[in-house]
A and B are shown apart, each in its own frame.
Chain A
Amino acid sequence: MSSPSLINPSRPPVFCPGCSHENIVKALDRAFVNLGLAGDQICIVSDIGCSGLFDTFFNTHAVHGLHGRALTYAAGIKMCRPELKVVVTLGDGGIGIGGAHFLAACKRNLDLTLIIMNNFNFGMTGGQHSVTTPKDSRVSTSFLNQIEKPLSVGEVAAAAGAPFVYVCSAYDKDFSRILEEAIKFEGFSVVEVKEICPGRFTKWNKLTPKMLEEAAQSSSFRGLVMENERAEYGQAYRDYLASLSPINRPDGIKAQFEPIETKRYEVLILGAAGQHAVTAGGVLALAAMSAGLRVTQKNEYDITVLRGPSIAEVIFSGEEIHYTGIKSPNVVIAVAQEGIDRRRSVFKALSADSLIICDRGLELPDSKADLLEVDFKSLGVKKSQRAFAGLAVMAAMNRGITMDMLRFAIDRRYDSEKIRKEMHDMMKTLSQGVIKSGG
C-alpha cells in the first residue's frame, strides 16, 4: 500500500544548507507514502519558528497557528475529525512555551503524532537558548543556559503519560519507519528528533550527525511505553457519548393557581452554608411560577462553600421585573447568624408591612418589621431544613405564596417520593406549629 509523494512541488524547503529539517521533510513524506495516505487524509499543524514552515511543504490539510499552541488546535481538529491523521510539528522552543499543552496531551492520549524538532536552540530568532539547550553550549543569550538544567523531552513525555515516545536523530537510517510507526500508533505519539542547526547552533558549538546518533541511541525511549498503554481519548470519548440518551430542553411551567398578589414581592433568605438557602430560593421561585408570576433569583455565598453565609434573594411580580436588586423585602427568612450579619443593612429598609420569620435565638438588628420567632428546634426541624421550613411558614401564613403553590414546587423540584413526603410532612407540622403560636 503506497501512494504518490505529498511534497508540494511549488513550495520547496527553504532551510539553511545542512539543516536537519530537510531530512524530516523527506522522511515524513516517505512515511505518508508508505502508509498509503492521500493529502486529504492528513492535517499538518505546525508551530512557530523554522519547524513552523512544515505545513507549507506538503499537499495536505494544513494549519499554522500560534507559538506553542499547535497541540491545542490539533486536539480540536482530531476530536471533530477522528478519521484524519493529525501530525503536529514543534521545535524545542514550542515545547517550552507550550509546556502545559504538551503535558496535557501526554496525559490525554488523543491520537495525534507530535514531532519535536530538537536542535537545542531558537534558530529563526537568532540562537537563543531553549528548554533543551545543554549547559555547556554557547548561545546568543550569554550565560543564561549555564545556570539551568536542560529538559529531557522523552522523560517528561513518559512521566506525563504518553504511551508512545521515541527519541531519535534526524540521521537515523530507520527514521521514516519510526515516523510511520508513530503515525500508525493509536494514541498520542511523541517523536523527539535530535537535529543540527547550522544556521545558528553549530556556528558556535561542535555537533555532528554521529554525535547526535550516539546520543539518540543511548536513549531508552524506543516507541511503546508499556506502563502508559491505555484507551485512546477520542475513542473513549465517543464510546461514552454512545452510552448517553438525548435530552430535551425542559418543559416550561404553566400557571396553575391564582397569585395572592401581582405587585413586586421580595423575599430574602438569610442562612449559612449547609442550610440550602439557595435551593430554598429555587423552590420559592417555582412556587411563584406556578401562579404565573415572573421571578428572579440572586444568590450570595462565600467561595469556600462549606463555611460562611448563604443567601438567596427572590423577587416575584405579575409584571416584568427590571431591577433585580432587593430594595425592601416583604419577607425575610432568617435562619443563621452568618446570613443576618452579612446583610445587617437591609433591616433598616424594612417597613412595618414586612415580616421577619426568624429562628429562635438569633440576634437581629432593629427594624420596623413584624417579627415571628419560630422555635424550629422544638418543632423537630433540623438546621439544614430551616430555610425551607421558613418557606413553609410563609405559605402557612399566605404571605406571597400559598400551601398549594409550595406543594406544587416541591413536587416539581424533587423526583424522589421520599423527599417529597418529608417536605409535605414538614409543611403540615409547621403550619400547625405556626397557627398554635398565633403567628
Chain B
Amino acid sequence: MSTVFWGGNEAIAWGAVDAGCRFFAGYPITPATTILHTMLRVLPPNGGIVMQGEDEIASIGFCIGASMAGYKAMTATSGPGISLYSENISFAIACEIPLVIVDVQRLGPSTGSATRGADGDIQFLRWANTGGFPTIVLCPSTIADCYSLTIHAFNLAEIFRCPVFIASNKEIGMTRETVDLDKLERPDVIDRKEPPEGQPYMPFRVAPYEQVPYFLPVGAKGRLSRFTSSTHGEDGYITTNSDFIEKQNRRLEEKLAKAVGEFTFYDYFQAIDSDTLVISYGITARSAIEAARALESLGRPVSLLILKTLWPVPEDLIRRKARDYKRIAVVEMNMGLYLREIQRVLCRDDIISITKMNGTLITPEEIMEVLSK
C-alpha cells in the first residue's frame, strides 16, 4: 500500500493529466477552484496549457477551440457556471466536440451556498442543452473514483465525440482522502480517430455501421476541417435537407443512448436474504454503505446499487438488479431528482425516497431510520 492524500478536485486533475489532457480553462468558483489551481500546478510543467477565462463562457469557449484544434480539453465549474456553459454545451453536442466538463456541485438554487454540497444539478447536466440531446454524466463516490472516472470521461469524450460531465460534489471535491496508488484503476487511454489518409474529408460523414464521424483537427495539414453550430450536412455546411437532419439528430441521440451498456459503471453489494435494494450515487452512496452494514448487523440486510454512470440512465442494469426486490429505496442529496428515473425505468410508484437539501450529508442513521420502518 502506498497512499497519497488527495482532495477529489486534485484527483480529477491528476486523472486528466494521465488521460492525456493538454488544455484546461476555468473561471474561479468555489468549490471547483482547486481544480484550476491543481491544473495550473501540474499541466504547464508537462507542456500543457491552462488558462483562466474572463468568465465561464470564455473558459468553455477556449476549451472548445482547443479541442477543435486536436487537444484533449477539460473545464471545471460549479452549478452557477454550468448555467453559463449551457449554450456552449449545445455547441459541443452539435459539433461533436470531445470535452470533459466537471461540475463540483454546490447547494442551490442560484448562488446558493458556495461551501455546502448537493447533488442538485444531475438533471440539469442532462437537460442543459437546446434540443434535449443526451449527455454522458459520470458520478464519483470516492476520491479514487474521481481519478479513474476522469480518465473514463476523457475516453468517452474521444470515442463518442461529445461533452462528458463529471458530477462531483463539494463533499467529494474538497474532502481529502487517502488513495492507495497501488490499487488505483487506470483505464487505457483512448484517442479520437482521425480520418483515413487520401480521401476527401467530410466532417460529419459516418462510415457504414458507425455512429461517430472521424475527427480532423483545425490546423491539420493538407485537408480542411469545418465546425459549425448551424444545422449542417455531412460536409459541415448549413443544410435544409430535412431527411438528413432527422437522420443526423437521431444519430446524435443513438450514439450515446444505445451504447450506455459499454460505459455503465457501478458497484453492487448483494446482501443475502434481503428484500430491499437501496440505489444511491455520489457521496451519499457512502452513507448508504454504512447504513447497509449496520442494518446487516441488526439482522435486516439490504442490498446496495451504487450508480457511477447517471446518464444515459443505465436502464438495463437498473432493471436487472431491481428485479428480485420487493422494496426499492433511492437515497440522494437533492429533492429526489434521480428518483423519477428509477420510477420511470422500473414502472413503479412505490419507491422509497430518502433525500436532503440543506447542504449537509445524509447520515447513515437517517437512512437506517427510514429503512428499518
Contacts and interface: CB of A to CB of B under 8 A. Distances in A.
Interface of A: 11, 39-40, 43, 55-56, 59-66, 69, 71-81, 83-84, 100-101, 103-104, 237, 240-241, 244-247, 249-255, 282, 285-286, 289, 292-300, 303, 321-325
A79 B217 CA distance: 14
Contacts of B49: 79-80, 237
A299 B174 contact: yes
5 contacts: A40-B223, A71-B61, A73-B68, A246-B47, A249-B181
A323 B288 CA distance: 9
Contacts of A39: 224
Interface stretch (B69-77, B188-196, B325-333): B69-77
Nearest to B25: A76
Contacts of A292: 1
Interface residues of B, number: 77
Interface in B13-67: 14, 17, 22-23, 25, 30, 41-42, 44-47, 49, 51, 53-55, 57-58, 60-67
Contact of B54 (A59, A103, A282): A103
Nearest to B284: A323
Contacts of B181: 249, 252
A77 B60 CA distance: 12
Interface of B: 1-5, 14, 17, 22-23, 25, 30, 41-42, 44-47, 49, 51, 53-55, 57-58, 60-71, 73, 87-88, 91, 114-115, 171, 174-178, 180-182, 217-230, 236-238, 283, 286-287, 289-290, 360-361, 363-364
A247 B45 CA distance: 6
B219 A84 contact: yes
Given A296-B177, A298-B174, A324-B175, A77 B5 contact: no
B223 to A, nearest CB: 7
Main secondary structure of the interface of B (DSSP, over half): mixed
Contacts of B22: 80
Contact of B65 (A73, A250, A289, A293): A73
A253 B2 contact: yes
Given A252-B180, A253-B4, A322-B289, 17 more contacts: A64-B227, A64-B229, A66-B87, A75-B51, A80-B66, A100-B54, A101-B57, A237-B49, A244-B44, A247-B41, A249-B17, A253-B2, A254-B2, A295-B178, A298-B174, A322-B364, A324-B286
A245 B41 CA distance: 11
Given A72-B58, A303-B114, A79 B51 contact: yes
A417 to B, nearest CB: 23
A322 B290 contact: yes
Nearest to B51: A79
A84 B177 contact: no
B287 A323 contact: yes
Contacts of A61: 218-220, 224-226
Contacts of B62: 72-73, 75-76, 79
A289 B219 contact: no
Give the 9 A-B residue pairs with the shortest CB-CB distance, closest first: A76-B65, A72-B61, A252-B2, A81-B219, A104-B54, A80-B69, A73-B65, A76-B66, A76-B62
Nearest to A48: B229
Given A252-B2, A321-B177, A76 B45 contact: no
Nearest to A67: B87
Contact of B218 (A63, A101, A299): A63
Contact of B287 (A59, A285, A322): A322
Contacts of A79: 23, 49, 51, 62, 65-66
A246 B55 CA distance: 29
A180 B44 CA distance: 33
Nearest to B17: A249
Contacts of B66: 76-77, 79-80
Given A61-B218, A252-B180, A289-B178, A76 B3 contact: no
A247 B42 CA distance: 7
Nearest to B220: A40
B68 A63 contact: yes
Given A101-B54, A296-B175, A254 B1 contact: yes
A80 B22 CA distance: 9
Contacts of A104: 53-54, 58
Contacts of B57: 69, 72, 100-101
A83 B51 CA distance: 19
A69 B61 contact: yes
B4 A76 contact: no
Given A101-B58, A252-B180, A300 B224 contact: no
A99 B176 CA distance: 39
Contacts of B3: 252-253, 289, 294
Given A65-B91, A100-B58, A72 B53 contact: yes
Contacts of A75: 51, 58, 61-62, 65
Contact of A245 (B45, B218, B224, B227): B45
A72 B224 contact: no
A66 B176 contact: no
Contact of A323 (B60, B174, B225, B361): B361
Contact of B68 (A77, A237, A321): A77
Contacts of B283: 324
Contact of B61 (A73, A252, A289): A73
A63 B371 CA distance: 54
B51 A65 contact: no
A65 B219 contact: no
Given A84-B218, A254-B2, A303-B114, A285 B176 contact: yes
B70 to A, nearest CB: 7
